[in-house]
Structure 1
Amino acid sequence: MKNTASKRGLPVQKDSSGSAYRSGTAARLAGLSVETLRVWERRYQLSGAGRSDSGQRLYTAEQVNRLRLLKNLVDQGHGIGLIAGLQIAQLEELARTHASDQVHRAGPIRVALVGQRLKERLAVTGHTNLSLDIRSNSATLDDAMSALPDSGAEVLVVEIAELDESAVPLIEQARKAADVRGVVVMYRFCASAVIRQLRMNNCLVTRVPTDMSELVGWCRNVLAGQRVALASERGAEPGAPQFDDDTLTGFTTARNSVGCECPRHLAEILLMVGSFERYSAQCASRNEDDALLHQELGHAAGRARGILEEAMARLAQAEGLPY
């Protein structure tokens, strides 16, 4: 592995206070479990922690503070995959935005609901406990048009099980009629092109959740003015590559005791997937919709790369290959 932040023996870069914390202490100070910290490190390589001479991962006070900010923002409904790559200043700004929104908020989030039995499902969950104030409730978008103008809602929540392109202009009309600050659209089945179009209209689009309490976090996100793609929509954001091309090329020529060629084959696949991921990021696009498609292609390749890299790491360890 060529990532210099993870090599054994890397000198620990202490901050001005001279503090350096082991993983268990850093996790406790940040309000995380050690297991969660390990998962975040493996998937998102987010801390850049150094190593002691004995190989123990050590964190500076600044890195612990960044972990604490990430944990707090995740608790507020932000997906870790969306914010793991942000700098500490950006995380602090995001936290201030959320705090400001909470200070200026009087009472629960005012929502207008559109969807069959959506209100009933929220009632089972306990929408009053979820800090949602339901101002109007309609079965369809057509039914909603007369109720929305005087609802006083802040967020329009639309649930359409089989979402197709015919709903896009109707949702936009409903947004204008309700004069809301944000729109959340939930679906069970939908074409990717329709999802892209709704996101271009600044709608937060996601599959219908199994736990309706997730709706509060989404409403908070749109009120904060965030155009986000949730982990439930497209899977966790891909982390940085674990292996560079030189390391993978080395795997293709490495010998082992039993003559197994799996390392070579898997390394070749990873080289191909990584190359396609980079290519998608650079590929020319005809318009914004085309650019979003290439972004999704690159994201899919990145997720596939992450899965294959986990397998490659286990295989290299089992075969005693250096990295």
Structure 2
Amino acid sequence: MERTKTSVTGKTHGYRSGKAARLAGMPVTTLRIWERRYGIVAPPTTASGQRLYSEDDVRRLVRIKALVDRGYAIGSIARLDEQQLAELEASNGQRAMRARADDEPVVLGLAVVGDVLPERLAEYAGELGLQGLQVRASYPSIGDFEAARARGVKVDAQILLVEVPGLWDETVEQVLRMTHGGGFRAAAVIYPFGSNGAAASLHLAGVRVYRRPGNRTELRQLLSDMRRECERERAVSLGGERVRRRFDDRHLVSLSGSAAPIACECPRHIVDLILQLDAFETYSDSCANDSPADRVLHRLLGDIANHARHAFESALEQIAAGHGKPVPGGA
């Protein structure tokens, strides 16, 4: 199917190439190459030569990108029309369903906070199903969420979506309290306006930040992002609880000496690292934190130090056990 590029006349609304590429989940360079080599879309251009992609263009890009990710060659599907792409997508989905017939489908739960967002998600329930997501709980406000948690209400949700009227420093504090200890693997804040500093603080803490989705395409991209974020392996879990020291200083010295048959000094160096990481965790927690960004940064540094210390403690324990030495009790 040949696609002819036209020029924009009058007032036309559309996405520029960078935005269209982000919505489709691909680098803008890939989008340009696919256009030039395969003619997958032919967006009109403005008088200045700027491409403007329509909703239909973006939907086509998303569909083709998904099929390429599933193993189809771009050259074999680039010129298919929408009906042919839909049929190919449907047949691929049926094969995937048959392949998973004996497996329990993985559905991730959402905890949704906001007065409008739950209604929008209900309206686009089909999008949730396509992404393997399900709303498990909804709250009109952050206060309602916190009140439910105070009552001991537990929700089987892996993803937290929070819609706020504005994003400010106090919002950051509220959201971080919500993620802490909630068992969420991914979290996102949706807002219409706010400060760049508050957004940066949440980014630093591993919380995704989105402007309020203006249409179905943007909402679909948000949900797809959260699904991928939830499945991503994390070195430090979002808002996770820290692990206590397993060995006090006396036990560390004992473990270091118990690995004497090892010719190198690695056990002693591991003990030194454990002590230094423990000291750094304490130092980071006590640092002066004058802003939410500072508090987020130092909390993150402390979490990483805690995670690393725990990993080295496990390594030291394995070394001792490997040489038949008893492991002393924890701190």
TM-score clears 0.5 = no
Larger relative contact order (CA 8 Å, sep ≥ 6): 1
**TM-score normalised to the size of structure 1?**
0.39
**TM-score normalised to the size of structure 2?**
0.38
Radius of gyration: which is bigger?
A: 2
